[in-house]
């Protein structure tokens, strides 16, 4: 910024520079002092005011900054105002953008443009304002004005780019495409085109109108010389030509020959050859970012299909001959694809697929097409082939065989003993190859063994539910990471295993070692955040959330916009892509859900202190801010930016964990088996919109429930918080509760029926996937009922205080009676209790607290007669509330007792319990063997073989210390939970005293 | 089987498994965006069937006079796709751009002095250690500045090793 100097509004540079220097070095106080002094000297200078606004905004004084901007704007708009220069305008724009008042910046630029017709600099500023506001039409009009003013190609392209944005990202822009084409043609006739990007843009406009023949002609003509790389030009032609002519192989062949390993091109080739129906529009220009996927069946006759496929095979075989020299593997996979297509088209001959696979087996296989016998045949053939290889590549080859076995031998169907044996082999091999002579690259093969051993052990757990296997999986990973600390993909598995065992402190520690930063916070924080958000570890969760939010803020969106500006000057194609990315980012569910989670976490943290909580609610505009984030139109636009490919097979999505479910072969074949070839991308995994909506409702519902249950709602806040009279509160709460019910999968009435059926014993909690939200719903409905008079309630099935009490008691009793020791709990057994106390019961206590506060003014708490002597108090309500306090107190008391029982266990005792899962006792089947293998193999390791570093690591590793860490971390979970229970009990005790 | 194509914004959302490699730096968004906007020809990704990112190369062209050169800012291949000469393909692509399109004199890159496999690989690709940059990585580890002369540098002057190690402050370009 300091470089933007010159005479601005008549102020000499020497007076301005120190202010910018101070801003750049974050000396804001000094900067403010200087800017105030400058303003005294130049009181009528909009630039001086803009500078002051910059400083104030940086100091966090948003309102003062805005006021300074408005003053500057007024001066700019006055008839006698000073000369408007771009520096003043752009400085104002910077501040206003940060204050989220782009409209004001635009208005200043618009005024300036009207005042100084054809001032290019100001027009460019205005164009950029419209870019930031997504005003595509105004962008286009401004660009055209600039083009008319100076006739430069770039401004014409800005206009064309704006038209494309309008066509792509808003409705009704298609009719503008002919206009764009006409403008470009006219320009070409006058002065041709000079930039490759301009030509790309022109082709793109033609493609969008399906004028493929014209586009092809343009590329083939003189203008084609603008595309400097022949390969790029050829690629564009390749995508266009088939759309206008039928005989394409003459152009495809040389292209494929030049790039025998290009999968995308090969798929295009096959699709064209088989005349499959594909939407080709804009492939030449944007095809680089989209994978052409063929899913449609060929229209050709069987005979013609076979002929063409045979010709493709001959062509691919030619490519294979060349490819051998270059070690490329693509043509071999291409042969597999050809056989697969043949099979898909009804001519099933899987022996040919097997043959193709044997020729190309190492990397990518379509094993799901084969039956069991064919898979066995394939394995045999591969093993036979391996037998002839030299020992140099033994490890690599063995790993490959293991890999293929894992993929094609339906592991989930194998005998337990077989699974154990294969896991043992992998671990033995790993220990055997702990060698100093192994290159770093080859060490990765060892990690592959650990990866596979873990997978099998987890599968064994799923099948047998024997915790020992999970503990062994953890030992395998911990050992691997002890030897090599940096294998991050193994850490991700550990994060998930520890989370599943509800040992979140260790999960969190391992996640932190991933050193996740920048854009990865958006794409991979899903590995830890969902679990932490329901944990009792407030501080750690808050830190994780803050870090995520800090990186996912609107600043990122600004960065994308800045890149847009760079791109529009150079690569227009990217400019359009940046806009798409910008829109995607702005609607990112990770970002928006983190914001909602942050509101809810703050509520949970402050729930024991009503004053603190009110401040939190005030900060969230009494729950209106979260609600605004989840307006229906915004929910529709939600995007999902997570990279789900890094998730383990047993938990492909945050809401799914197969290990919590009973084992069944069908599910196992889906999650553990080979994935059905390709085209399953994480983009298909959309955001969880119902969860998003439910979270957005919670803060407002909590606030309104607190108000509803109080006999005297705070009328004075009507204008600011959308609260108001009892009637309006009840109306709003009623409608929000209907949405809440929908978000947990019920209609309002069905949800109430379901809850009542639990309290009458007709139904059990097991019927509900989300117990906590269900109980919260009952609590909120009860608060809502309290705000209605009996006439209004007539005809409605009531959820009363008694129903809520019964529900809480039943839930706690059911949960506690089914709980085993916390140390060996899996899934979210303890965490459900934590969530129940931290959320549902917290909301309930808050509702009661709010009531009591409203009837006992501050300072009069100790009055002997309590609140009952207030004339407007509803005595039955008061009694119901009193009973509820006792009920919640007793429920939390029971939970607390259970937690304390668990905490009281000694660490040694806990380690013994865990170790008992790993004791084989001479049984032929069962966990414990891996531990034995590790102990035996590591006991005989020689320093001379493995080198001093690995030797030290091996010797310093102890399985017992891993188990001790687990016990210790579990203790922390319980201690943190115990403290929460304790604090809730204290609050309840003080509430009891109020009566 | 591989498709090598220009990097696009959405690739940033699916390269996590590549960047989880501890030697691969994850930069901030503006860094990637700037490279995309300014040097799109130097930013390519290799994609496997199924849209899985196998690896990518990010670079730029900069300098003046005989220092006009291509620079490899990041080159990474996911562990499961190594040993297939993918890095070589990506490097060749960048070298071709620098050589044929931008007429640069040489291509250079920085590598951790401890990253022996990478150094060996670059040597196989024709790169030589031009000089050592002291404490280049986070002020802790030395970096090696490796160079490969392009056709314009007929006498390969650009790759004559520098006599002494330098500090990061002495670097001409950042």
What is the residue extent of each domain of chain B? 3-170
Which one of A327, A334, A570, A574 would you mutate to disrupt binding with B, by most B Cβ within 10 Å of its Cβ? A574
Structure tokens at B120: 């060996």
| A598 to chain B, closest Cα gap in Å | 23
Question: Could you tell me the CA-to-CA distances from A769 to A793, A832, B149 in Å, in that order?
Answer: 29, 11, 64
The pLDDT of residue A303: 81
Please compute the mean of the pLDDT values over residues A4-25 and round it to a whole number. 77
Alpha-carbon span A123 to A108, nearest angstrom: 12
Residues of B in contact with A289 (CB under 8 A): 5-6, 8, 10
Fold (topology level) of B3-170: Aminopeptidase (3.40.630)
Rounded average pLDDT over A531-556:
85
Inform me whether the C-beta atom of residue A949 falls under 8 Å from chain B C-beta atoms.
Answer: no
Contacts of B22 in chain A (CB under 8 A): 486, 488, 515
Note the pLDDT of residue A466.
94
**∠ CA B68-B70-B71, rounded to 5°:** 120
Least confident span in A405-409, A455-459, A678-682, A719-723: A678-682
Please list every residue in chain A whose beta carbon sits closer than 8 Å to the beta carbon of residue B24: none
Q: What percent of chain A has pLDDT over 90?
A: 32
Sorted by where each begins, the domain ranges of chain A are 1-133, 689-904
pLDDT value at B163 more than 80: yes
Report the pLDDT value the prediction gives residue A368, as an integer from 0 to 100: 52
Q: Is the pLDDT of residue A331 over 80?
A: no
Are B14 and A288 an interchain contact pair (Cβ–Cβ within 8 Å)? Answer: no
Q: How does residue A5 score in pLDDT terms, banded at 50, 70 and 90?
A: very low
What token pair was written down for A364? 């990518």
Inter-chain contacts counted by CB atoms under 8 A, chains A and B = 148
Query: Best of A256, A284, A289, A583 to disrupt the B interface by mutation (most B CBs within 10 Å)?
Result: A289
Q: Report yes or no: A524 at the B interface, CB cutoff 8 Å.
A: yes
Chain B contact for A563 (CB, 8 A cutoff): yes
Which A-chain residues 609-638 have CB contacts (< 8 A) with chain B? Answer: none
pLDDT for A360 equals 63
Candidates A297, A204, A307; CA nearest to A249 is: A307
- Indicate the residue of A289, A447, A522 with minimum beta-carbon distance to B8: A289
A896/A980 Cα distance (integer angstroms): 9
pLDDT band per the 50, 70, 90 thresholds, residue A189: very high
Residue carrying structure tokens 């500023």: A125
Res. A658: pLDDT tops 90: yes
The pLDDT of A678-694, averaged and rounded, is 65
Nearest CA in chain B to A259: B3
Measured between alpha carbons, how far is A561 from A579 in angstroms, rounded to an integer?
A: 8
Checking DSSP bridges between strand B43-48 and strand B166-167, what pairing results, if any? unpaired
- Give residues with Cβ within 8 angstroms of B50, minimum separation 6: A675, A677, A678, A679, A680, A681
Do residue B27 and residue A677 have CB atoms under 8 angstroms apart? no
Task: Select from A559, A584, A949 the residue whose CB has the most chain B CBs within 10 Å, as the one to mutate to test that interface.
Answer: A559
Asked if A333 has any chain B CB less than 8 Å from its own CB, the reply is: yes
Q: How confident is the model at residue A306 (pLDDT cuts 50, 70, 90)?
A: confident
- B69 has a pLDDT exceeding 90: yes
Residues 286-315 of A with CB under 8 A from B: 288-289, 291
CB-based contact B26 A680, cutoff 8 Å: no
Q: What is the pLDDT of residue A256?
A: 55
Q: Would the CA dihedral through A196, A201, A204, A206 be positive or negative? A: negative
How large is the C-alpha radius of gyration of chain A?
34
**Mean pLDDT in residue range A754-771:** 82
Backbone angles phi, psi at B147, to 5 degrees: -135, 155
CA separation (Å) from A244 to A207, A248, A931, B70?
12, 10, 66, 39
Q: Which residue among A291, A364, A519 places its CB closest to the CB of B51? A: A291
pLDDT tier, A706 (very low <50, low <70, confident <90, very high otherwise): very high
Contact of A891 with A841, CB cutoff 8 Å: yes
- Region A721-725: mean pLDDT is 58
pLDDT of residue A732: 92
How far B166 CA lies from chain A's nearest CA (Å)? Answer: 28
Does the beta-carbon distance from A364 to B49 stay under 8 Å? Answer: yes
- Give A99's pLDDT tier (boundaries 50, 70, 90): confident
Q: To 10 degrees, what angle do helices A176-191 and A196-208 make? A: 140
Distance in angstroms (rounded) separating the CA atoms of residues A32 and A190: 53
Q: What mean pLDDT, rounded, does chain A reach?
A: 81
Contact between B16 and A523 using a beta-carbon 8 Å cutoff = yes
Give the number of other Cβ atoms within 10 Å of residue A307's Cβ: 12
Taken in order A853, A858, A864, A868, is the CA torsion positive or negative?
A: negative
Q: What is the pLDDT of residues A191-235, one digit of tens each?
A: 888 888 888 889 889 988 888 888 888 988 888 888 877 777 777
Higher pLDDT, A253 or A395: A395
Higher pLDDT: B16 or A406? It is B16
Q: Rounded distance, CA A106 to CA A534, Å?
A: 44
Q: Tokens for A433?
A: 């190859």
Q: Is residue A780 pLDDT above 70, yes or no?
A: yes
**CB < 8 Å to B84, chain A:** 327, 329
**pLDDT band per the 50, 70, 90 thresholds, residue A239:** low
Window A:417-476, CB contacts with B under 8 Å: 439-441, 444, 447
CA A391 to chain centre: 45
- The larger pLDDT score, comparing residue A676 to residue A174, is at A174
Measured in angstroms, the CA of B115 and the nearest CA of chain A are apart by 9
For residue A670, name the pLDDT band (cuts at 50, 70, 90): confident
Nearest to B37 among A228, A566, A681 (CB): A566
Query: What's the pLDDT score for residue B157?
Result: 94
**Across A67-71, A226-230, A247-251, A882-886, least confident range:** A247-251
Say if CB A530 and CB A687 are below 8 A apart.
no
Lowest mean pLDDT among A63-67, A489-493, A526-530, A951-955: A951-955
A700 contacts A733 by C-beta, under 8 angstroms: no
Q: Which residues numbered 677-706 in A keep a CB inside 8 Å of some CB on B?
A: 677-682
Test A570 with B38 for CB contact under 8 angstroms. Answer: yes
Query: Do A291 and B26 make contact, defined as CB atoms within 8 angstroms?
Result: no
Please name which of A840, A858, A656 lies closest in space to residue A755, comparing C-alpha atoms: A840
Residue A373 has a CB neighbour count (10 Å cut-off) of 9
Starting from the edge strand earliest in sequence, which strands make up the sheet with B166-167, in order?
Answer: B3-6, B43-48, B52-62, B69-77, B106-112, B141-149, B128-137, B166-167
Residue A626 token pair: 């979260």
CA distance B32 to chain A (A): 9
The rounded distance, in Å, linking the Cα atoms of A389 and A395 is 11
| Greater model confidence, A919 or B62 | B62
A502 vs A463, A772, A969, B64, CA distance in Å?
Answer: 20, 17, 9, 58
b/e for A827-864, b at 16 or more Cβ within 10 A? Answer: ebbbbbbbbbbbbbbbbbbbbbbbbbbbbbeeeeeeee
Residue A770 has pLDDT above 50, yes or no: yes
Both tokens assigned to A420: 């154990």
pLDDT digits over A837-893, tens only? Answer: 999 999 999 999 988 887 765 545 444 444 444 555 667 778 888 999 999 999 999
Q: What percent of chain B has pLDDT over 90?
A: 61
Give the closest-approach CA distance of B105 to chain A in angstroms. 19
Q: Which A residues in the span 361-380 are in contact with B, Cβ-Cβ below 8 Å?
A: 364
Distance from CA of A259 to the nearest CA of B (A): 9
Residue A760: count of CB within 10 angstroms of its CB: 9
> Hey, are the CB atoms on B40 and A288 less than 8 Å from each other?
no
Mean pLDDT computed over A282-305? 56
Q: E strand or H helix at B53, and its extent?
A: strand B52-62
Q: At what angle do helices A212-220 and A196-208 cross, to 10 degrees?
A: 160
Which carries the bigger pLDDT value, residue A750 or residue A723?
A750
| Mean pLDDT, residues A408-427 | 85
User: Alpha carbon A813 to chain centroid distance?
Assistant: 36
Pick the CATH number of A1-133 from 3.40.30.10, 2.40.50.140, 1.25.40.10, 3.50.50.60: 1.25.40.10
Q: What is the pLDDT of residues A424-471, one digit of tens each?
A: 888 887 877 776 555 555 566 678 889 999 999 999 999 999 999 999
Asked whether the beta carbons of residue A262 and residue B2 sit closer than 8 angstroms, the reply is yes
For residue A304, pLDDT beyond 90:
no
Mutate to test the interface with B, among A233, A264, A362, A525 (most CBs of B within 10 A): A264
Residue B4 in this model has a pLDDT that exceeds 50: yes
Closest by Cα among A471, A503, A261 to A919: A471
Identify the three-state secondary structure at position B75. Answer: strand
pLDDT in tens, A275-293: 776 554 444 454 444 444 4
Q: How far apart, in Å, do the first and last CA atoms of chain B sit?
A: 35
Mean pLDDT confidence for A17-39: 91
Percent of residues, chain A, with pLDDT higher than 70 = 79
A188 has pLDDT over 80: yes
Is this prediction's pTM over 0.90?
Answer: no
pLDDT at A175 over 90: no
Higher pLDDT among residues A994 and B57, named by residue? B57
Interface test with A, best of B12, B13, B54 (most A CBs within 10 A): B13
Q: Mention every residue, 6+ apart, whose C-beta is less than 8 A from residue A984.
A: A608, A837, A841, A842, A845, A892
Cβ-Cβ contacts under 8 Å, B1 against chain A: 261-263, 266, 329-330, 333-334, 364
Nearest residue of B to residue A444 by CA position?
B79
**Beta partners for A864?**
none
CA distance A151 to A294: 44
* Least confident window among A308-322, A511-525, A921-935: A308-322
Q: How large is the ipTM?
A: 0.91
**Looking at CA atoms only, how far is residue A362 from chain B in angstroms?**
11
**Cβ <8 Å between B3 and A580:** no
């Amino acid at each position: 910024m300091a470089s933007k100097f010159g005479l601005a509004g008549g102020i000499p540079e020497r007076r301005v520079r120190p202010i910018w220097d101070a801003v750049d070095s974050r000396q804001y106080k000094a900067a403010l002092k200087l800017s105030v002094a400058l303003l005294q000297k130049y009181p009528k200078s909009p630039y001086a005011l803009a500078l002051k606004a910059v400083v104030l905004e940086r100091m966090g004084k948003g309102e003062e900054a805005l006021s300074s901007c408005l003053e500057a704007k007024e001066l700019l708009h006055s008839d006698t105002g000073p000369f408007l220069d771009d520096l003043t305008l752009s400085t104002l724009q910077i501040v206003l953008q940060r204050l989220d008042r782009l409209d004001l910046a635009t208005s200043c630029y618009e005024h300036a443009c009207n005042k100084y017709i054809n001032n290019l600099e100001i027009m460019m500023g205005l164009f950029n304002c419209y870019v930031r506001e997504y005003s595509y039409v105004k962008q286009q009009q401004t660009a055209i004005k600039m083009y008319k003013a100076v006739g430069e190609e770039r401004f014409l392209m800005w206009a064309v780019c704006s038209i494309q944005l309008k066509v792509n990202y808003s409705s009704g822009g298609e009719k503008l495409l002919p206009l764009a084409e006409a403008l470009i043609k006219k320009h070409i006739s006058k002065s041709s085109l000079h930039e490759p990007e301009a030509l790309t843009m022109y082709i793109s406009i033609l493609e969008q109108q399906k004028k493929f023949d014209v586009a092809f002609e343009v590329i083939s003509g003189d203008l084609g010389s603008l595309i400097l790389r022949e390969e790029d030009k050829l690629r564009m032609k390749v995508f266009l030509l088939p759309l206008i002519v039928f005989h394409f192989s003459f152009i495809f062949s040389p292209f494929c020959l030049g790039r025998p390993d290009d999968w995308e091109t090969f798929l295009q080739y096959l699709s064209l050859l088989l005349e499959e129906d594909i939407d080709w529009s804009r492939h030449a220009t944007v095809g680089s970012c989209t994978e052409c996927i063929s899913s449609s069946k060929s229209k050709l006759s069987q005979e013609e299909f076979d002929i063409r496929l045979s010709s493709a095979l001959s062509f691919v075989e030619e490519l294979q001959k060349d490819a051998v020299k270059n070690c490329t593997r693509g043509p071999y996979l291409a042969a597999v694809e050809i056989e697969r297509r043949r099979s898909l088209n009804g001519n099933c001959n899987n022996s040919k697929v097997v043959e193709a696979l044997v020729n190309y087996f190492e990397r990518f296989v379509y094993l799901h097409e084969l039956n069991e016998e064919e898979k066995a045949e394939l394995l045999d053939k591969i093993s036979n082939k391996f037998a002839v290889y030299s020992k140099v590549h033994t490890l690599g080859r063995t790993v490959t065989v293991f890999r293929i076995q894992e993929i094609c031998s339906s592991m989930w169907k194998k005998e337990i003993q077989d699974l154990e044996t294969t896991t043992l082999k992998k671990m033995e091999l790993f220990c055997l190859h702990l060698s100093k002579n192994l290159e770093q690259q080859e060490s990765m093969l060892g990690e592959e063994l650990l990866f596979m051993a873990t997978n099998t052990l987890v599968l064994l757990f799923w099948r047998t539910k024997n915790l020992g296997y999970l503990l062994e999986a953890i030992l395998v990973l911990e050992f691997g990471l002890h030897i090599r600390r940096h294998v991050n993909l193994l850490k991700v598995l550990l994060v998930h295993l520890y989370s599943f065992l509800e040992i979140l402190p260790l999960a969190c520690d391992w996640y932190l070692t991933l050193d996740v930063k920048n854009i990865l916070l958006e794409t991979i924080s899903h590995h830890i955040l969902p679990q932490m958000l329901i944990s009792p570890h407030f501080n750690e969760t808050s830190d994780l959330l803050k870090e995520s939010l800090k990186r996912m803020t609107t600043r990122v969106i600004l960065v994308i916009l800045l890149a847009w500006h760079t791109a529009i000057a150079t690569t227009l194609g990217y400019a359009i892509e940046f806009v798409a990315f910008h829109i995607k980012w702005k609607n990112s569910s990770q970002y928006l859900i983190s914001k909602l989670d942050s509101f809810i976490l703050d509520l949970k943290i402050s729930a024991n202190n009503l004053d603190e909580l009110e401040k939190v609610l005030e900060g969230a505009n009494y729950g209106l801010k979260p609600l605004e984030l989840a307006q229906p139109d915004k929910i529709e636009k939600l995007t999902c930016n997570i990279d789900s490919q890094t998730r383990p097979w047993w938990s492909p999505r945050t809401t799914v964990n197969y290990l919590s479910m009973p084992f069944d072969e069908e599910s196992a074949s889906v999650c553990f088996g080979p994935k059905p070839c390709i085209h399953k991308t994480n983009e298909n995994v959309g955001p969880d919109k119902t969860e998003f909506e439910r979270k957005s409702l919670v803060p407002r519902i909590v606030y309104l429930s607190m108000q509803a249950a109080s006999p005297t709602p705070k009328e004075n806040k009507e204008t600011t918080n959308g609260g108001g009279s009892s009637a309006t509160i009840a109306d709003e709460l009623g409608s929000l509760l209907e949405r809440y019910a929908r978000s947990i999968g019920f209609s309002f009435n069905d949800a109430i029926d379901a809850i009542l059926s639990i309290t009458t014993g007709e139904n059990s909690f097991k019927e509900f996937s989300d117990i906590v939200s269900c109980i919260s719903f009952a609590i909120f409905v009860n608060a809502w009922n309290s705000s209605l008079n009996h006439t209004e309630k007539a005809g409605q099935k009531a959820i009363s205080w008694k129903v809520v009490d019964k529900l809480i008691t039943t839930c706690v009793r059911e949960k506690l009676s089914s709980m085993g020791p916390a140390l060996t709990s899996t899934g979210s057994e303890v965490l459900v209790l934590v969530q129940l106390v931290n959320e549902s019961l917290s909301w309930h206590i808050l509702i009661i607290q709010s009531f009591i506060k409203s009837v006992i003014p501050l300072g009069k708490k100790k009055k002997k007669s309590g609140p009952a002597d207030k004339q407007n108090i509803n005595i039955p309500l008061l009694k119901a509330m009193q009973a509820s306090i006792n009920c919640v107190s007793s429920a939390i008391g029971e939970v607390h007792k259970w937690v304390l029982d668990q905490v009281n266990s000694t660490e040694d005792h806990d380690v013994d319990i865990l170790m008992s899962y790993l004791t084989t006792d001479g049984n032929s089947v069962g966990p414990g063997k891996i531990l034995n293998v590790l102990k035996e193999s590591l006991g005989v390791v020689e320093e001379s073989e493995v080198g001093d570093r690995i030797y030290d690591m091996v010797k310093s590793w102890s399985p017992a210390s891993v188990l001790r860490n687990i016990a210790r971390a579990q203790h922390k979970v319980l201690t943190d939970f115990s403290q929460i229970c304790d604090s809730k009990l204290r609050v309840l005790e003080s509430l009891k005293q109020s009566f | 089987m591989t498709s090598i194509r220009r990097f696009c914004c959405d690739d940033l959302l699916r390269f996590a498994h590549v960047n989880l490699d501890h030697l691969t730096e994850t930069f901030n968004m503006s860094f990637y965006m700037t490279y995309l906007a300014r040097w799109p020809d130097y930013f390519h990704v290799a994609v496997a069937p199924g849209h899985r990112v196998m690896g990518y190369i990010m670079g730029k062209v900069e300098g003046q006079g005989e220092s006009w050169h291509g620079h490899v800012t990041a080159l990474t291949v996911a562990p499961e796709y190594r040993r297939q000469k993918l890095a070589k393909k990506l490097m060749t692509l960048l070298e071709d751009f620098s050589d044929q399109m931008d007429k640069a004199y040489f291509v250079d890159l920085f590598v951790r002095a401890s990253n022996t496999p990478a150094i060996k690989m670059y040597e196989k690709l024709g790169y030589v250690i031009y000089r050592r940059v002291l404490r280049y990585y986070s002020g802790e580890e030395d970096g090696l500045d490796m160079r490969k002369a392009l056709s314009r540098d007929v006498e390969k002057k650009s790759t004559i090793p520098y006599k002494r190690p330098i500090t990061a402050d002495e670097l001409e370009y950042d």
